[in-house]
Every structure is written in C-alpha cells, then in structure tokens.
Amino acid sequence: MAMIWYQLRLAIGSLRKDWGLSLAMFVCLTLGSGLWTTAASHYLRNFPLDPGTSPDLHQIEIVHPRALALDRAARAEDFAWHARTWVTFPEYEILAGSGIPARQSGSFRAQVLAARPSDATPELVNARFVGADFLAMFAIPVGRGRSFTREEEAGQAAVVVLGRALNKSFFAGQNSVGKELTVEGRAFRVVGVLDEDAPLQPSWDPVWGGRDQDALYVPLSWARPLAAWPDRMIAQSPVATAADLWRSDTVFVSFWVQMPEVEMRARYRRYVDENLTGRGIVAHVRDLAEWHRAFPVPPSDIVYYTILLSVGMIGAAFTTARLLLAKGLARRGELGIHRALGATRGSLFLRQMLEAALITLPAVLAGLVWAAGQHAFFNEVALDNDIPVRLGLDGAVVGGVPSLMVGLLAAAYPAWRMSRTPPALQGKRI
C-alpha cells in the first residue's frame, strides 16, 4: 500500500510537469466519453435494459384475420401490431370477466380536450383509459398521491392520474393532487401524478412506441360517458356512432393480466379455451418472455449512430495512447534514472497506469456532465416527441464504465513500453 501511495505522488508530479500533454489527453477522453455516453443514453431510451414489468404479466392475442389484412394493407411495415396486440371491446369484456387474475387491465388511447378550470381554451391531449390495476401492473411510479382504486373505477368516480409532462404544463410541475381539471367539459379530481416520463417503448401498448407519451390516465369506465374515440383502431365492419363502437368488432383495446401463481395461469388458460377457443376463436395467452420474442422493439437508426460513436471512442483511445507514448518517451531519461536507483519494471508500469487513471477518471466524469448538457439541448431543441432523454443510472454506467476501461486500456501499451526502460546514470544507459 505504501508503494502505491508513493507511485501516486510521482504520477501527480508527472502530470504537473507535462501539463500540456495531460490537458490534451483529458480533452480527448472527455470528448470521446461524452459522445459515447450520449449515444448510450439514446440507445437505452429505445432499448431499455429493464422494461420494469413483472414476469407474471401475460398478454392475450386474439387472431382476427380480417384485421390482420387491413393492418398490413394500411402500413408499410409488416409488424401488424395493431391487429395482434389489440382486441375488440366485447372480447375485452369476456377476457376481463373471469375473476381469476390477481390484476388485469384493458386500455386504449384517445385524444380528449382537457383544461384547468381557469383556462378558457382546453388543450387536446393524449388520454389513456385504463383499469385500476394498470399502473401497478406495469410498475409505473406514482410520485405524488396514488392511483385510482377498483371501487372508484366501478363507481365511475371522476378521478384522474396526471402524467409528468401534463402536470408540468398545467400546474408548473407542482403538487396537483386534489386539484381539478376538466376532461371533455366534465370536472375531474387529480388523485395522483406520475414520478417519471413514460418510456419510449411502452410494454403495455407497443403500437405507441416512439411517439408522444400518455398525458393522463382516466378510469376505463369513463370511456363511454365521455364518448372517447380511439386514436387508432381497426374497424373490421363499419362503425357509425360512438355508441356502436362498444358492441362492434373494432379492434382497439390492449389487454393484460397478472398471474403470479401457476395454478392461476392454468385456470385462466382453461377459461380462455372455454369461452373463446371453444367457439372457434384462435387465442394465445403469452407470458412476458414469449411476448418480447413475438413483439421485439423495431430497428432504429440509433443502433447505427451508437456503432459509429463507439468507433469514435476507439479513435479517442488510440489518440490517448499516442499522447501517453510521446509523454513517456519525453521522460525516458528520468525513468532510466529511477531504474538505476532500484525502481522495478512493475513500479514503473504502476506509475504510468496511475497517471493515466488520474486523467481518465476526471475525463469520464466531465464526459457525463457534457452528455447531460447534450441531453438538455436535445430535449429543448431537437426532441422528436415529448418523451425526454435523460442520463439515468443505467446510462451513466453504460456510458462511463466503458469509457473508463477504454482510457485505461489505451494506457496499457505505453505503460508497458516505459516499464522496459533500461537503467541509466546521468542520462546514459548502464
């Protein structure tokens, strides 16, 4: 331990002597680390490490051949996720009528007019009509207040939960629990506010991946009284009025159940077989792992940019290695004297690596700060939807740790070369 502290003091002294080269390496690594961390944050925004949902979740797909054909005909991609991840409202009522799952929720998205009571002009916002279990099922954190209850949903209580972005827009980000706002001209009370922005790729409804987030959450029992019209749907037959929608074969409801027990899952599969499959309807009950395989996150240009910036990070490593090598060669005579005085090759290698660490670690931290600044600029100027990119713990780890490792690996060869310096006396080799 004493030797490490001694070599650390020597490394600090070396930084002071050649501060120009040290500064150049710091800037090079900061730029590389900042760009890589920015790319990593954008990548994780599209492809999160942890979707934050329970493996007990199951999604039900009911095969609608006509809806599949209409979905594929209407869109360039062949995902057909609208037809495959949604069911009709009558089918939702059957699926939700078993009483077997521990939690369950149907949901769909519609645009509604919402405003604070003091506002004369309402705004058109994205509302998701959900069951009372929805937020808990998908581990969506309610930072203030709570979600509405099953009793409130069944009793059609006029309550809503605000998304983080809408709370910022309507109430300047303050605690709005207990306050009122109007939805389609009716007064609703805010019972909760989400703590985080929605993910870019919502597991509960992949159709809306990469688009603006849900602004508020309204009990599903309010969908009919508010005459909510789905923002997207597949009408397999003509639908004339909103009243016809609820008994039609229009596909628009996403439905999930949570079943933590094996026996519960078996009972529910039997229920689906009896009520749907037995009537000639093809239905699939998928657990979360099967669902991710069936509906992977679609390709994104961010993959290309992440690869491109990883190459840039490698370039920064090569530049750093050359600067370290140049710095070591400039001090080769000094290192030779240390060897003549008894310094081992291992101690010289350790000193060079400590010197590299003293440059790399601050550079990585500065890169994280710079990446956060780039995120703020993107969110303010270039944001393609209202879901901001943020430097979370996962982004800091995925961005910072590889940057630190690259910086240290870049120093390994120059440090090895300098450790091979032969002993010297008064500038001459022995």
Q: Give the phi and the psi of residue 261 in degrees, each rounded to 5.
A: -105, 140
Contact 282, 266 (CB under 8 A): no
Q: What pLDDT is attached to residue 27?
A: 87
| pTM, rounded to two decimals | 0.84
Q: What pLDDT is attached to residue 265?
A: 94
The tokens 């303010």 sit on which residue? 380
pLDDT mean values, one per 10 residues, the chain (430 residues): 62 67 84 90 84 84 91 74 93 95 97 88 95 94 94 96 94 93 95 92 89 94 95 91 90 96 94 86 89 83 82 82 77 72 76 82 92 91 85 89 89 82 60
Q: What pLDDT is attached to residue 76?
A: 62
Query: CA–CA distance from 407 to each of 5, 23, 278, 312, 322 (Å)?
Result: 21, 14, 63, 13, 12
Q: What pLDDT is attached to residue 118?
A: 80
Q: What pLDDT is attached to residue 11?
A: 63
The tokens 């979740």 sit on which residue? 57
Query: CA–CA distance from 366 to each of 362, 394, 423 (Å)?
Result: 6, 17, 38
Q: What pLDDT is attached to residue 308?
A: 81
Beta strands in 195-338 (DSSP E): 216-219, 251-258, 283-287
Query: CA–CA distance from 69 to each of 42, 84, 207, 283, 333 (Å)?
Result: 34, 11, 17, 17, 77
Q: Give the phi and the psi of residue 344 in degrees, each rounded to 5.
A: -85, 165
